[in-house]
Chain A
Amino acid sequence: MSLDASQLAAQMLAAFKQSLSDKWPDTKEYASSEAKKLAENFVMIEKLKVTGQITNEQARLHHEIQRNASRAVLLTVEGLGLLAVEQALMSAFSVLQDAVNGALGFDLL
C-alpha cells in the first residue's frame, strides 16, 4: 500500500493538535508546515524501499531518524503550549499585583 503525503500530514497535524488543546491557534502554522515536511519524508523513504534503492535495514534507520524528528516537533509544540499557559498566568498575576499590595498595605508581591 502506498502512502499519501497529504493524508499523512493531516493525521500528524491532528496528533500535534491533540497535545495543544486551546493553545492550538498560536502554533498551528509551525505544526502544519513541519507535519507536511515530515509526511513528504515518510513517503520518500517508502519510495526508496519499494524501488529497491534501500534495504529493509536502511529503511528502518531512516524511519528511526524520522520518528526522532517528529518527536522533536511534538515536544516543541508541547513546550509552546506550556509557555503560553505560563505567560497567561503571569499576566493574571501582574494584574492582581497592585490591588493585592494596596489592600495589604505592604508590597508582598
Chain B
Amino acid sequence: MTPFAYCHRTVLILVVTTLTACTITRVSDYDATTDELVSTLHKKTSGFFHTIPIKGEAECGYASHQAFYDGLRVEIDALALRNLARANNSLTIAQIQGLQQSIGAIEQLHQLGCFSEAQIADLKNSLDIHYGAILKLEIAKQRESD
C-alpha cells in the first residue's frame, strides 16, 4: 500500500468513527409493553371519570373510590419502574413521574370534596393530553428502520 493510500484509509476510518459516534441513540427504543400499559391506564382513568357520581349524588366521596386510586397507583408505579430500567429514556421517565404527581393531585382533590361536572371535564381533558403525549412519543420511537 502506498503512503497516500494508507493516509486515505486512515482518514476514512476517522470519518466513519466520527459518524458512528454521531449516530448514538439519544431516545430509547419502542417498548410495546409501555404502549399497552399506558393505553390500559388511560382506559381506566377515562372510565372512572365517565362513571363517577358528581357532587350531590350518592357515593361521590373519596371513601367510595379509594380502591380505584390504590389500584391505579400500583399500576403507575410498575410502569415507572419498567421505564426507569430502559436506556436513554429520560423523556418518558419524566412524563410518567408527572403522571404520578397528577394522579396524586387528583386524589387530593377528591379528598377535599366530590367533583363537579366542570372539574371532571377539566381533569379528564388534562389526563387525556398527558396520556396522549406519552403515547405519541412512544409510538414515534418505532423508527422508520423498524
Contact = CB atoms under 8 A, between A and B. Distances in A.
Interface of A: 30, 34, 37-38, 40-41, 44-45, 48, 53-55, 57-58, 61-62, 64-66, 68-69, 71-73, 75-76, 78-80, 82-83, 86-87, 89-90, 92-93, 96, 100, 103-104, 108-109
Contact of B122 (A44, A72, A104): A44
B101 to A, nearest CB: 6
Given A61-B112, A79-B141, 5 more contacts: A34-B133, A37-B129, A58-B112, A68-B98, A82-B26
A62 B129 contact: no
Interface string B11-25: 011011001101101
Interface of B: 8-9, 12-13, 15-16, 19-20, 22-23, 25-27, 91-92, 94-95, 98-99, 101-102, 105-106, 108-109, 112-113, 116, 118-119, 121-123, 125-127, 129-130, 132-134, 136-137, 140-141, 143-145
B130 A62 contact: no
Contact of B119 (A54, A57, A109): A54
Given A71-B94, A90-B23, A76 B137 contact: yes
Contacts of B140: 76, 79-80, 83
A65 B102 contact: yes
B12 A73 contact: no
B141 A83 contact: yes
A79 B91 contact: yes
Nearest to A34: B129
B96 to A, nearest CB: 9
Contacts of B106: 61, 65
Contacts of A96: 16, 19
Contacts of B121: 44
Given A82-B27, A93-B23, A72 B99 contact: yes
Nearest to A73: B133
Which of the listed residues A34, A53, A66, A80 has the most CB atoms from chain B within 10 Å of its own CB?
A66
Which 7 pairs between the two chains have the least Cβ-Cβ distance?
A: A68-B98, A72-B133, A69-B130, A76-B133, A76-B137, A69-B129, A79-B137
A6 B12 CA distance: 53
Nearest to B123: A65
